[in-house]
A and B are shown apart, each in its own frame.
Chain A
Amino acid sequence: MSFLNKLGIGVGAGAGAGSNREVPRAIGGTGRPRTNSSPPVGAVGATRAPELRESNRVSNGLKEFLWNLDGLGRGALLDLGPAWQTTLSFFIERGFRVSSEDILRAWKEFLVEEEGKLREAAGRAAQHNLDVTPAARAARFLEANLQYPNSSFDAVLLWDLLDYLEPLVSKQIVANLTDLLRPGGVVFAMFHSKKPEGFQRYRVVDCTTLQVISSPVLCPAQRVYQNREIQDLFGRYRTMKSFVGRDQLRESLFIK
């Protein structure tokens, strides 16, 4: 079994974009304000690609994040989610210089590439010299990603991607982000309190609202971080603040 399969990404793993389209599970739970209700699930066997489903959730974490950035002037923000127009607009119009890098997509592409290299070596019946240990893989991934000068950013939107990366990669990414942040910089991250059944991406609607978009699974969830583990991950930060929602999503702010 390939390591892609072990990670639940390979063909037949049931987590591919085509095999396990996410059922639109309303995030935000009861009592959460939302602007649109989930449309009905498409017919079984329908060939049309399912539409992305969206719901809104009030985000105290985002509110606090923006409060921390208030008065910054022309700050620099790194968005590690997909490049959504609304999110970019929101921050650009507030004077931020925004950099965008979809880490989860990059991670998936990286894994597929690594899988290809291994297959190629196996096809040639040659001994591959690719170090496939998690540590080596994390190092290779970060050689090509998150390449910015130190102290480049005032804020980072990390979203919930740590839940979906290999723990070693997550640890290394947090370490790298700490270097990329200026003193006083803020990280906005989210953690699922239980293993997420679906895969969502997030975009900013306004100062207190996030849009939750159920998307085809890019990477399966790797682990659920407990409070202590989160504190350890962000041990170099001076302040941590968390907001736990009814939807089992913990929003956290880390200030360097």
Chain B
Amino acid sequence: MWKKEDGKSQGVPENAAGISTGSPAAAGSPARESSTGLPVSSRASACLSQGIRIKGEVTGSEDLFIDGHFEGKVNLSNGSLTVGPNGEVKADIFAREVIVRGRVDGKIVGREKIQLWSTGNVAGDLQTERLVIEDGAVLRGRVEIETGKPIDKHAEARGAAAGTSKGGVVSVNSGSAAD
């Protein structure tokens, strides 16, 4: 069920959205890897393992990793939520940071950042300051970048370099170049 593992649970490193090209696994240069090969963060604490099914509401301020089935509502005001590759979450999610490697059905509010990895599949609206989408991720919903400032429509000439990534991970970071 809920496992408290000091530094052993699976999360995503703070700098996982290294916003560099390459796979997210490489981007974050995680301190270490779990037995399943997932990056491990020293911050991640609670884990809902594969095969576990829970319905209800989760609130807290620590990080959480879900690799099982969860249905309900997740509210981690200052924590980050990682949905693992086997995770299936049917819930509205509110967290500081949300990383999706599995399936999420519901609205996601990631106050600081949302990352969709290549295996991620989201059906729901996204609301965040920064969004990272890896090639192959599936998104069905609306994207709202909260602090997004419309850029100068005539900035195209100088911003023509935007979007030249080749299959890597880049970030939508309001007010800055796309890649």
Contact = CB atoms under 8 A, between A and B. Distances in A.
A92 B165 contact: no
B163 A94 contact: no
B66 interface: no
Interface centre among A70, A73, A85 (most CB of B within 10 A): A85
B127 to A, nearest CB: 11
A97 B142 contact: yes
Given A36-B166, A83-B133, A207 B160 contact: yes
A101 interface: yes
Interface string A94-111: 110111111001100000
A94 B174 CA distance: 10
Interface centre among B135, B137, B145 (most CB of A within 10 A): B135
Given A52-B135, A85-B170, A86-B178, A206 B148 contact: no
B139 A89 contact: no
Contact of A97 (B131, B138, B143, B178): B143
Given A52-B135, A54-B166, A88 B156 contact: no
Contacts of B131: 85, 88
22 contacts: A51-B167, A54-B166, A54-B167, A66-B156, A71-B153, A83-B138, A85-B133, A86-B162, A86-B163, A86-B165, A86-B178, A89-B163, A92-B145, A93-B159, A97-B143, A203-B163, A205-B164, A206-B156, A206-B162, A206-B163, A207-B160, A211-B163
B132 interface: yes
Interface in A75-133: 82-90, 92-95, 97-102, 105-106
B103 to A, nearest CB: 13
Contact of A89 (B137, B160, B170): B170
Interface residues of B, number: 38
Contact of A83 (B139, B156, B174): B139
B148 to A, nearest CB: 6
Nearest to B157: A207
B151 A204 contact: no
A47 interface: no
Contact of B162 (A71, A93, A106): A93
A93 B151 contact: yes
Nearest 5 A/B pairs, CB to CB: A95-B150, A89-B178, A86-B163, A83-B139, A206-B160
Nearest to A76: B142
B60 interface: no
A99 B143 contact: yes
A105 B137 CA distance: 12
Contacts of B170: 85-86, 89
